[in-house]
Amino acid sequence: MKTYRIACIPGDGIGKEVIPAGQEVLQALAAAGAGFGFAFTSFGWGGDWYRAHGQMMPDDGLEALRGMDAILFGSAGDPQIPDHVTLWGLRLKICQGFDQYANVRPTRILPGIDAPLKRCTPRDLDWVIVRENSEGEYAGVGGRAHQGHPIEVATDVSMMTRAGVERIMRFAFRLAQSRPRKLLTVVTKSNAQRHAMVMWDQIAAEVAREFPDVRWDKELVDACTARMVNRPASLDTLVATNLHADILSDLAAALAGSLGIAPTGNIDPERRYPSMFEPIHGSAFDIMGQGLANPIGTFWSCVMLLEHLGEHEAAARLMQAIESVTADPALHTGDLGGKARTADVTSAVCHRLKNR
């Protein structure tokens, strides 16, 4: 029987609550006769590791992950450590170290979830946002000089390369082509950002010629937020820069009901390195350590992980179990207006996997 080696990095805050829940659900799926097993290795990296060792993960951390089939990640962010230290020291180190340049963020309204958009049925909102995950605004290029002086300057340069934009565009067009509507919206800000974003638009038009069956359009990122609210059904697959997609996908999650539901995959499409799956939310300082976190975002991320491994039947089974749980308001956590706890939702999903 095939055994998948999965690295688990709970990280900080509610990551420590939702990642064990994700492992439990994957274990239940394997035990219910999926035809494969999992060997989990957990890494205690994050804020606690930083307090003990002065860094978020060890220098040879990437080496420890390299041979894994996939990585399940919680969140990086600790109330006592600056956010840029935790993010750059752990999550971005892995995303950039393993060149996981495509960040895929699906959004749908799951059964039973009361989405805030009026006049919007689940059929009207079925998006995948493709986030460029290796450069752009989060390239790490920039600097700070004359700190504390009146002439202080600081820059974060949005750096885009032709190779980087071409590969994310090709990925997005291919993904759009694989979906029933074959529709791609290229998000841009080329009216104001007249260098990198103009190149982005040009490359989109070039790559589009390779995909004559994909319909595509362009939208400025600010207008795109309004379009997501006003005309959700006019969107299907979207591709946007690192920063733009980061913001659009939190909006997408909220429009579909809650940040606690939304999944993502940080993918190396060439499969040179392990890909990493995580809920899109962060450490949720306001609810951490109380067993209140919604684990659905992590479970849906596990579905994406299974699909990445080629286990499509198991992925569909887990998604079905998730949807049958969201359909029951008694199993909604606080973010969805319910009273259920992380453990209630987790055991309900496991129970449905056992008794299908």
Active site (catalytic) residues: 138, 189, 222, 246, 250
Q: How many angstroms separate the Cα of 121 from the Cα of each of 111, 216, 218?
A: 10, 24, 25
Token reading at 295:
């684990």
Binding residues (CB under 5 A) for K ion: these are 75, 278
- Among ligand NAD, Mn ion, K ion, none, residue 257 binds (CB under 5-8 Å by kind): none
Instruction: Find the shortest distance in angstroms from Cβ 221 to ligand NAD.
Output: 19
The sign of the torsion formed by the CA atoms of 247, 134, 163, 158 equals positive
**Single residue of 68, 102, 287, 318 touching ligand NAD by CB under 6 A:** 287
Options 204-212, 283-291, 312-320, 345-353: segment touching ligand NAD (CB under 6 A): 283-291
Q: Say if CB 36 and CB 2 are below 8 A apart.
A: yes
91 interacts with ligand NAD by CB under 6 A:
yes
| # binding residues, Mn ion (CB under 5 A) | 1
Amino acid identity, residue 156? D
Which CA distances in Å does 263 have to 196, 277, 297, 299, 300? Answer: 28, 8, 5, 8, 6
Please choose, out of 53-61, 80-88, 169-177, 192-200, the segment that lies near ligand NAD by the rule CB under 6 A.
80-88
Question: What does DSSP assign to residue 330?
Answer: G
- The least CB distance from residue 247 to Mn ion, in Å, is 8
Angstrom distances, CA of residue 154 to CA of 138, 148, 243:
15, 11, 18
- Under the binding rule (CB under 6 A), the answer on residue 246 touching ligand NAD is no
Q: Rank residues 42 and 324 by Cβ distance to K ion and give the closer one.
A: 42
Q: Which of 12, 78, 219, 246 binds Mn ion (CB under 5 A)?
A: 246
| Residue 347 to residue 28: CA distance in whole angstroms | 10
Using the rule CB under 6 A, which residue among 26, 30, 76, 129 binds ligand NAD? 76
The Cα 67–Cα 173 span in angstroms is 30
Query: With binding defined as CB under 6 A, does residue 232 bind ligand NAD?
Result: no
Among Mn ion, ligand NAD, K ion, none, partner that 21 touches (CB below 5 to 8 angstroms by kind)? none
Buried-state track 115-146, b at ≥16 Cβ within 10 A, e below 16:
bebeebeeeebbbbbbbbbbbbbbbeeeeeee
Nearest alpha-carbon partner for 127 in 33, 238, 24: 238
Q: Which does 87 bind (CB under 5 to 8 A by kind): ligand NAD, K ion, Mn ion, none?
A: ligand NAD
**Shortest Cβ distance from residue 265 to K ion (Å)?**
12
Q: Which residues bind ligand NAD (CB under 6 A)?
A: 14, 75-77, 83, 86-87, 91, 259-260, 278, 281-287, 293-294, 297, 333, 335
